[in-house]
């Protein structure tokens, strides 16, 4: 769904018609955002900003990748989240690991940013917060995802959909897969 203000394209999301929050979206300003669920012992903070509203607000208001990264890091949120943000150059990629009143930002490792459903930077900062199978998804992605591609090689949408459809990533709650390319503004979703 494409959002316009005064006839000007502002952002595009992959979501359900009628939704007011954002799970996955791409800004006309050259950055894209996606959220991954994550468990935490940090208590829910009902008076803070809801995560999906914050993503929409960032897509609407941030003027650059750097501004979006700062915006997603500072405001207290209601619940934990892993927010992936990528810009229009290969050097612009980060995961903002959020608990309601704190954050940690991690960048790529060996030219790749891998985000599953567990904290990585908070492991060091606060101790292990996530339990369950997410670590195996992260490890599988780190080990096998695009392992046959060098940093310089182009990765096609089909390559990405193949990774996103990999066995450890098949969750019962996942209904769609989205590939976004901030440099061109392309967003492709498969259900």
User: Do the strands 177-181 and 81-87 form a parallel or antiparallel pair, or are they unpaired?
Assistant: unpaired
Domain boundaries, the chain: 2-190
45-94: pLDDT as tens digits: 999 999 999 999 999 999 999 999 999 999 999 999 999 999 998 889 99
When mean pLDDT is compared over 16-20, 132-136, 141-145, the highest value belongs to 16-20
When mean pLDDT is compared over 100-114, 130-144, 170-184, the highest value belongs to 100-114
Strand partners, 88: none
Are the beta carbons of 23 and 34 closer than 8 angstroms?
yes
| CA separation for the pair 118, 133 (Å, rounded) | 9
77-86: pLDDT as tens digits: 999 999 999 9
Q: Of the CATH numbers 3.60.60.10, 3.40.50.150, 3.40.50.1580, 3.40.50.300, which one belongs to the domain with range 2-190?
A: 3.60.60.10
Q: What are phi and psi of 132, to 5 degrees?
A: 110, -150
Sign of CA dihedral 126, 127, 131, 134: positive
| CA separation for the pair 118, 128 (Å, rounded) | 9
Candidates 176, 153, 152; CA nearest to 165 is: 176
pLDDT computed for residue 130 by the predictor? 42
């Amino acid at each position: 769904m494409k959002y316009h203000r005064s006839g000007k394209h502002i952002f595009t999301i992959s979501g359900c018609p009628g939704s007011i929050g954002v799970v996955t979206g791409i800004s006309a300003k050259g950055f894209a955002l996606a959220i991954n669920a994550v468990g935490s012992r940090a208590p829910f903070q009902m008076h803070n900003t809801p995560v999906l509203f914050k993503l929409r607000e960032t897509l609407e208001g941030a003027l650059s990748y750097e501004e979006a990264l700062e915006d997603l890091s500072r405001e207290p949120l209601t619940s934990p989240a892993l927010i992936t943000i990528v810009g229009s150059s290969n050097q612009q990629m980060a995961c903002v690991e959020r608990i309601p009143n704190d954050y940690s930002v991690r960048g790529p490792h060996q030219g790749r940013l891998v985000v599953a459903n567990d904290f990585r930077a908070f492991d060091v900062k606060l101790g292990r917060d996530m339990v369950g199978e997410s670590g195996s998804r992260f490890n599988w992605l780190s080990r096998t995802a695009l392992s046959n591609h060098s940093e310089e090689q182009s990765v096609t949408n089909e390559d990405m959909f193949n990774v996103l459809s990999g066995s450890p990533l098949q969750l019962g709650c996942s209904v769609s897969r989205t590939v976004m390319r901030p440099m061109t503004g392309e967003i492709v979703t498969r259900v």
